[in-house]
Amino acid sequence: MASIQYLSTRQSIASSGGVGIEVAIAQGMPADGGLFVPNKLPALPARVFQPEPLSYSELAYIVLEPFFPGWGPKLRLILETAYNSLFDHPEVAPVRPLSWEGKGLYLLELFHGPTCAFKDMALSLLGGFLRESLDRLGRKEPVLVLTATSGDTGSAALAGLSGVEGVHTAVFYPSEGTSEIQRLQMTSTSSQRRYVAGLRGNFDDAQRAVKGAFARAAAGEGPLAGVRLSSANSINIGRLLPQIVYYVAAWRQLRAEGRLGPDGLMHVAVPTGNFGDILAAKYAKQMGLPIATLVCASNANKVLADFFSTGVYDRQRELVKTESPSMDILVSSNLERLLYMAAGGDGQRVAALMRQLNQEGSFEISEDEQKYVKDFAAGWCSDAAARSMIAEVWRSDSVLIDPHTATGLEVATRLAQSLQPEAPLLVVATASPFKFPRACLDALAAGSVQGFTSARRLEKDDSRLGDLALAEKLATLTGQRLPRGIADLKRKPVIHRAMLDAGEVEQALAEYAANNMDNKS
């Protein structure tokens, strides 16, 4: 069987000219502005469906090996280095049952990595992927990895790429669009081979600036034309593929416990911003994992919920700042990869839709394309409803969830009546609640949870407390341990204070490259 090649979403599936995984990872984005996708999705190996115990790194190797032809022992080493040492739970991505709303509801906890968010599941590997890709391509010059973040990707990229020889990381975050702890995780990191800056604007502005830098550099234009670039966003296929694994791992755990529905089915619900996390579940389903419905949960920025309801994607609306900031996105980049699948690999069709979105602010997919995405259900959740969910789950299960997870759970349980009832509902828990302590404390107080209402009311100066102090307070009141990745922030000074307009990004990066990057760095 021929090895998997990687094509642009704006390139026909029938065309020649695909690249290997090394080029796709090292380059980050195709020169035509699309996204790299595999020319085929391999069937999950039979071993995945056998009951033998497997460590998370072993399972990851079995699932991912077809995507990395020829990597063999190198791939295994990268996976073992990350998953056997960097996560503070032996199962890496444990599944937790909830008693709330009866049986059949489960959380897939993806926040046990270094920065306490699901981005660690893939970004802890990306440094190894990138270094091996560059070595296999014989590229010795340094690489600048560009990252736009709505909150968690930036800190996970800075941690995951730390210490990788020849790799520099640049992160841009919306100046007013992250939690304080998310921001501190980025701005207090070492300056060695790192550049971190706030951007006046929102995540879409940051993502547009990064994509524009890629496009101009690929065309030999702009101040970054001579700098080798890559990406740590989920626009990089090396970010997306590892996310397939945790859905397989969750299915195996539910199967081992006898929790699956008829035909081994489960439903998956994902709080969604840039669409990469839920797209990985779609990939897993296409590869043969028995997933019934994919529930796409949005916050008040419900562009995706509207899209799955109407077939129209319309970014022409005001971005709402919410208590789930990693989902405050109006242009979900990874949707382009789903459109490519829905269009049957017609790159010209996808290019036309993306051009229409860029020029007119919206597009509508065809009836056949809408039929293809019918396995998605979608809904949205207000901050108030998410706060109520945080309180209810704590009251029923003594489980603390963050606002993003609460959004996914609220939408999933509301849509549950329309789902196959015998199949379990797996909700992705994307971040530690201690990254959003103010929202969690407010939710527990507003929900009249015993022990929180009076504590919150007595602290009249809580609004002036920083998030680190509130995280400690939340840990004390809940009797839970503050994650090390957050507790350690108390001892770290802020190092990165740059604040830019979107139009200043490329020049700032060019100056960083000129001053810090040479063939030895």
Smallest Cα–Cα separation from 395: which of 447, 457, 455, 430? 447
C-alpha torsion sign, points 56, 62, 65, 67: negative
β-strand partners of 363: 313
Exposure of 342 in the CB half-sphere (CA atoms within 13 A): 25
Q: Please give the C-alpha separations between residue 315 and each of 90, 93, 186, 214, 257, in angstroms, as whole numbers.
A: 41, 33, 28, 22, 42
β-strand partners of 96: 107
Say which amino acid occupies 115.
T
Residues 6+ away with beta carbon under 8 Å from 16: none
Smallest Cα–Cα separation from 468: which of 492, 487, 491? 487
User: Which of the residues 40, 119, 321, 460 is marked catalytic?
Assistant: 119
Instruction: Return the H-helix or E-strand segment holding 174.
Output: strand 167-174
Say which amino acid occupies 335.
L
Q: Known catalytic residue: 460?
A: no
Cα separation, 516 vs 521, in Å, equals: 7
Contacts 24+ apart (CB under 8 A), 137-140: 137/22, 137/23, 137/26, 139/26, 139/228, 140/166, 140/519
| Cβ neighbours of 55 (radius 10 Å) | 16
**362 burial level (CB within 10 Å; 0-12, 13-18, 19+):** middle
Strands (E), 413-513: 425-429, 498-500
Residues 6+ away with beta carbon under 8 Å from 323: 383, 386, 387, 403, 436, 439
C-alpha torsion sign, points 308, 310, 311, 315: negative
Say which amino acid occupies 483.
P
Smallest Cα–Cα separation from 101: which of 390, 349, 371, 396? 396
**46 burial level (CB within 10 Å; 0-12, 13-18, 19+):** exposed
| Structure-block tokens of residue 436 | 């959003």
User: Alpha helix (H) ranges present in 333-420?
Assistant: 335-342, 347-360, 367-372, 383-397, 403-415
Exposure of 416 in the CB half-sphere (CA atoms within 13 A): 20
Active site residues: 119
